[in-house]
Amino acid sequence: MSDNKKTYDTIFDLLEKHDDWMKNTINLIASENVSSPGVRSAIVSDFRDRYAEGWPGERVYAGCKFIDEVEIICMNLAKELYKAEFADVRPISGVVANLMMYSAAMEPGERMMALSIAHGGHISHARANLGGTAGQIRGHKVQNWVFNDEEFNIDVDASLARIRTLQEKGDEIKFLLFGGSVFPFPHPVKEFREIADEFDMTIGYDSAHVSGLIASGRFQDPLREGADMVTLSTHKTLFGPQRGCVLSRNEFAEKIKRAAFPGMMSNHHLNTMAGLAVAFTEIMEFGKEYADQVIKNSKALAQSLYERGFKVIAEHKGFTESHTILVDITETPLQHGNVVEETLEDANIIINRNLLPWDKKRGRDYKTPGGIRLGSSECTRLGFKESEMDAVAEFITRVVMKEDDVKKVAADVSEFKKDYQKVHYAFDTETDAYAHLRFR
Ligand SMILES: *Cc1c(COP(=O)(O)O)cnc(C)c1O
């Protein structure tokens, strides 16, 4: 056998090992989900090998007649789900969608407001010295929202005052960005519409994490609350393929379209565009039931952990209104977010370490933060309900609090997971969730 063939086989062995491992794990990564058999089938279609630059009907490539039809369906579904005048489904990720939104809202170098990373902001919102997309790629100067740690939300009065002070100093703000990667409670969008109108600012809302909940009418409705543009990642609570989308009022349509093409993309990954259209049909059919269970499950997980002695953030507010909870693990025997992350992974439980708002003051950084972030989307998709979330809390407690034998917990998690191998809230509920497709 040639070396190349050996490497070829090795790659497939690794893919198969990964798929097998996923069958045996409990995935609590808040930014992930598992795609339906329908979505997976769209992704492996011939669309994966084609180009369709430009807008449906006005392509710069030939061979697009069926691609155009699917893209039009995809756009129409996006507009219907989010009650948006305009949708561009071409961005190939949430970060690209944010770049398109920045391009439509501001000139390079202009100033914006966003959440800091420590308060749940995403790196694509951050300033240049952090390597953030807004700062590094577009030269935007980023000012941070004033955050209320206790309420775990943007402090409206203090943030309004900060904006006025900046305006008076001549540090004009052009763009207000809401949304984040730790997003348990709706952000105060409508409270900022008046000041935005007064100073001619555009309001953006990054719904990456919560786009599946918003599509189902179960979080907030940013376009009705005053946002001019909304960006999506399509694979977090929205259970599509990894991709993005920009929604807006018609007023911004031309600028958004130009940012997509010729600005940001030649190829826009037509197979995952088709997968997104499929996911939209499934969220339309099953979204409300799914989103209700996602939220019940994150609350149940929070409550069960809290009862076992974990410091879950925002207990006085019911912990969360989304799929995400944040847990302070500094007083557990494992003490550090990275240690908890690694140890749980050995126990077949996959989570993220996460900064807490007050970590920096305590000398912690993103490598050894004091928190972990847990999400309920993927578990819910596999049929977990509140009682299963209680079982998950017990597995976590055995590893993090009781320092039980990790191998034993890993075996128990695999055994538990055997009964949850199908994707729910989908048109095909027969195919295994992590089935390895073989074309070799
Ligand atoms: C995940 C995330 C993104 C990036 O999305 P990708 O699709 O991974 O590019 C952008 N913004 C927020 C708030 C996110 O959480």
Question: What type of residue is 287?
Answer: G
- How far does residue 135's CA lie from ligand 1's centre (Å)? 16
177 DSSP β-pair partners: 204
- How far does residue 95's CA lie from ligand 1's centre (Å)? 6
Task: Output phi, psi for 375, to 5 deg.
Answer: -130, 150
- How far does residue 4's CA lie from ligand 1's centre (Å)? 36
Ligand 1 surroundings by CB, under 6 angstroms: 31, 93-95, 98, 122, 124, 179-181, 206, 208-209, 233, 244
- How far does residue 430's CA lie from ligand 1's centre (Å)? 30
| pTM reported for the whole predicted model | 0.97
Task: Return d(Cα 18, Cα 27) in angstroms, integer.
Answer: 13
Residue nearest (by alpha carbon) to ligand 1 atom 8: 94
Q: Which of 223, 264, 268, 269 is nearest to 100 (CA)?
A: 264
Alpha helices in 24-89 (DSSP H): 37-43, 65-82
Taken as a whole, the chain contains a residue count of 440
The CATH number of domain 40-283 is 3.30.2230.10: no
| pLDDT tens-digit map of 312-334 | 999 999 999 999 999 999 999 99
Taking a C-beta distance cutoff of 8 angstroms, is the pair 208, 138 a contact?
no
- How far does residue 440's CA lie from ligand 1's centre (Å)? 33
Residue nearest (by alpha carbon) to ligand 1 atom 13: 180
233 DSSP β-pair partners: 244
Alpha helices in 1-90 (DSSP H): 3-23, 37-43, 65-82
| pLDDT tens-digit map of 97-109 | 999 999 999 999 9
Nearest atom of ligand 1 to the alpha carbon of 125: 11
Taking a C-beta distance cutoff of 8 angstroms, is the pair 257, 88 a contact?
yes
Nearest atom of ligand 1 to the alpha carbon of 242: 7
Peptide bond just before 262 cis, omega within 30 deg? yes
pLDDT at 83 over 90: yes
Nearest atom of ligand 1 to the alpha carbon of 244: 7
Cα 58 to the center of its chain, rounded Å: 31
- How far does residue 297's CA lie from ligand 1's centre (Å)? 22
Tell me the three state secondary structure of residue 173: strand
- How far does residue 236's CA lie from ligand 1's centre (Å)? 9
Predicted pLDDT at 205: 98
Tokens of 340: 């908890």
Residue nearest (by alpha carbon) to ligand 1 atom 4: 94
Task: Return d(Cα 428, Cα 431) in angstroms, integer.
Answer: 7
Predicted pLDDT at 440: 67
| pLDDT tens-digit map of 370-380 | 999 999 999 99
Task: Return d(Cα 141, Cα 147) in angstroms, integer.
Answer: 19
Task: Return d(Cα 95, Cα 415) in angstroms, integer.
Answer: 37
* 182 — pLDDT class (breaks 50, 70, 90): very high
pLDDT at 96 over 90: yes
Nearest atom of ligand 1 to the alpha carbon of 95: 9
- Using most ligand atoms within 8 A of CB, pick from 181, 214, 246 the residue to mutate for ligand 1: 181
Taking a C-beta distance cutoff of 8 angstroms, is the pair 241, 210 a contact?
no
232 DSSP β-pair partners: 245
Task: Return d(Cα 202, Cα 69) in angstroms, integer.
Answer: 32
- How far does residue 431's CA lie from ligand 1's centre (Å)? 28
Residue nearest (by alpha carbon) to ligand 1 atom 6: 94
371-375 and 111-114 as β-strands: parallel, antiparallel, unpaired?
unpaired
Task: List, in order, residues 6 or more apart from 158 with CB less than 8 Å away.
Answer: 146, 148
Q: What percent of the chain has pLDDT over 90?
A: 98
Average per-residue pLDDT in the chain?
97
Predicted pLDDT at 436: 85
Give strand ranges (E) for 316-368: 324-328, 349-350, 352-354
Domain boundaries, the chain: 40-283
Task: Return d(Cα 371, Cα 391) in angstroms, integer.
Answer: 21
Tell me the three state secondary structure of residue 231: strand
Tell me the three state secondary structure of residue 302: helix
Taking a C-beta distance cutoff of 8 angstroms, is the pair 50, 67 a contact?
yes
Task: Return d(Cα 430, Cα 121) in angstroms, integer.
Answer: 38
26 DSSP β-pair partners: 349
Q: What percent of the chain has pLDDT over 70?
A: 100
- How far does residue 233's CA lie from ligand 1's centre (Å)? 6
